[in-house]
A and B are shown apart, each in its own frame.
Chain A
């Protein structure tokens, strides 16, 4: 049986955003034997919504400029919108994939002034659809009953690595992944595209080994 892969929240988000640099890679990874941890799903949903909403705010300002503008043709509107989009991206390149994603969703509606008012409804409905889709992943997985021993083990794992500077949610995801391998005895590969998370996870695995734990977990840094 092939090694099971656990993907992190960044890759799960990329799976649902065709404009994400990791999109194709995420699709390739989930083709195999993959596990979607609940902590990953929850973190992915919240991060997706935050970034999507921040991109929407700027796109709405662009729409407002279209509402106030004096355009003669649809081509003029689209040319204006695309120029503004590039300006947005150059001012905040870390949200580029979200700007492009949101822009693509509403591009066709920009040329119809009567439809501009509906755009927030369309975008917000789409956001809730995406997070609902993320919920669907991994629903058929087995549920592990957490008894007292398993709970104690999780506390010990957390205590052993708690001073490693993970972001809060990353710590939860890493601990979940370690616990999964120990609970099931299965060998897993934690895949991430986040260099910081990767380094912290390697450090945490080394620490766990020094303390006598030997989770069958390896961490892999994925590149786009």
Chain B
């Protein structure tokens, strides 16, 4: 296993949690269950991880196998649907129960749960990046750098989702990016594909104030 794969693997449980929430945002409602101490009614929902225990590699492999070669939004959306199907294959009963529970909480509670979960995930990526930064300085290689850029982009997607939890396209982009980072670190994909993903996905985080003033001044953006 390479040094990058080692670091990414260390965070695998957390990353898998992020992948599940991006694919199926209602999973984040579990935070609310914990907070409200409703274990007696829905305790088994907290066992999602245990339902996957021992099968993490298998489920990740399956999800990686449906990632698209063509890096465009339409292909990402198709892949997201397949990834949800894979999750259903493993967690069908628990996700049905989750739906039952989600009906008992209101939209604002669900949104709060999502925000908590996404802030946690963003923090996790920040920690992963700090470890990766050490590796980059020790032995800088293009694959490590582009993985870190993808992680940086993923953190910005989390920022956007915290502001707009309902933004489905952002969730899809995040899902694909997280999986691709895992795939590249495991050597399942060449790191070159991350350049294409970043080029496509970065369009999701553009904002007017990002443009430097000297360029804004010369551009006619109203064409």
In the assembled complex, how far is the CB of residue B89 from the closest CB belonging to chain A, in whole angstroms?
34
| Closest beta carbon of chain A to B122's beta carbon, Å | 13
Within 8 A of A (CB), among B200-216: 200, 202-203, 205-208, 210-212, 214-215
B1 interfacial contact with A, CB 8 Å = no
Task: Give the contact stretch, choosing among A73-81, A84-92, A120-128, A198-206.
Answer: A120-128
B133 near A117: Cβ-Cβ < 8 Å? yes
Whether a CB of chain B sits under 8 angstroms from the CB of A133 is yes
Segment at the interface with B among A135-143, A146-154, A210-218: A135-143
- How far is A50 from B142 in the complex, measured between Cα atoms in Å? 8
Q: Check A56 against B223 for contact (C-beta < 8 Å).
A: no
Find A128's partner among B141, B156, B215 (CB 8 Å cutoff): B156
Q: Is A45 an interface residue (CB 8 A)?
A: yes
Pairwise interchain contact A118-B133, C-beta atoms closer than 8 A: yes
Contact A121–B129 (Cβ < 8 Å): yes
Within 8 Å CB of B215, what residues of A?
A: 15-16, 27, 30, 133
Asked whether, in the complex, the Cβ of A63 is within 8 Å of the Cβ of B207, the reply is no
Return chain B residues, CB-CB under 8 Å to A128.
149, 152-153, 156, 198, 202, 205
New A-B contacts (16) at CB < 8 Å, excluding given A45-B199, A134-B202: A27-B218, A32-B220, A42-B199, A46-B199, A53-B149, A57-B140, A60-B140, A117-B134, A120-B145, A121-B148, A124-B129, A128-B198, A128-B205, A133-B211, A135-B202, A139-B221
Taking Cβ atoms with an 8 Å cutoff, the residues of A that contact B are 4, 15-16, 27-28, 30-35, 41-42, 45-46, 49-50, 53-54, 56-57, 60-61, 63-64, 67, 116-121, 124-125, 127-129, 131-141
Binding site for A on B (CB under 8 A): 129-130, 132-134, 136-138, 140-142, 145-146, 148-149, 151-153, 156, 195-196, 198-200, 202-203, 205-208, 210-212, 214-215, 218-223
